[in-house]
Every structure is written in C-alpha cells, then in structure tokens.
Amino acid sequence: MISRRHVLAAGGLFVALTVAPAFAAQRANFTQAAFEAAQKAGKSILVEVHAPWCPTCKAQTPVLAKYESEPRFAELAVFHVDFDTQKDALRTFNAQMQSTLIVFKGLKETGRSVGATDPLSIEELLEKAL
C-alpha cells in the first residue's frame, strides 16, 4: 500500500532531481569567443586555471562545486582554463600559476586569488563577481 508519506517523498525527490540542476553555475572550457560574449553580456564570470596534476587545484574542486551549485551563483559563468595546454589564455589573464581563480563582472576584473583552498576566502572571491 502506498502511503501519503511515500507520495510526498517521491514528489520531493522528483523536484530535487529536476529543479536543482537549474541552479548550477554554467561551466565551460575556456574559449576566447565564449569568454568575450559573456563579458559583453555583463555576466558574472569565474575563470578557473586548473591542472589535473595540481594538488591545490584538486582541493579547490569540491569547494568550487559546492558554491557553483548554490542558487545565488546560478548565473555565474565558469570558464575552465587548462594550465598545460592553453598558454594563450594564461597570457591573456596574466596567470602565472595553476590554481588561479579570477572573477569578473562584465568587462571588469573584480578579484583574483592564487592557491586559495579555504572555503570562506573562495566564497568571498566569488561574491565579488556578483
């Protein structure tokens, strides 16, 4: 027999699975064209310079994922720059090291950090893009 509790639980699960992804930030691999389009649209932007072998980058990943899933960062455009293969992008952003996080509001850079893994400092940086 199906109880009211089962129906409510199933409904809650359905809503969580269908609505929650709508709150996620928009992630993409960096391309100059997409980045410039986001800037011209006045979007909040995070540029994440990452290397797969970097332990600091690995520590940043779950922290960034947590914040990117929150509704307040739903409009954040996140561009992933590969430190090893996208040298032109590194020059564009004057990024000297992997684990560099840079935030923009439209055309203006509003903050930058290198090697930050503390959730509070990353949250404060992301808020500078809003």
CA Rg value for the chain: 17
User: In whole numbers, what is the pLDDT of the chain averaged over residues?
Assistant: 86
State which H helix or E strand residue 63 sits in.
helix 55-68
State which H helix or E strand residue 118 sits in.
none
pLDDT for residue 119:
96
Q: How far apart are CA 88 and CA 91, in angstroms?
A: 5
Question: What's the average model confidence in pLDDT over 61-68?
Answer: 95
Q: What is the pLDDT of residues 106-124, one digit of tens each?
A: 999 999 999 999 999 999 9
Higher pLDDT, 9 or 36: 36
**Least confident piece of the model among 9-23, 37-51, 56-70:** 9-23
What's the token pair of residue 39? 């800037």
pLDDT for residue 85:
96
Question: What's the average model confidence in pLDDT over 92-110?
Answer: 96
Q: How far apart are CA 110 and CA 45, in angstroms?
A: 10
Whether the pLDDT of residue 99 is over 80: the answer is yes
Q: Which domains does the chain have, with CATH numbers?
A: 25-127 (3.40.30.10)
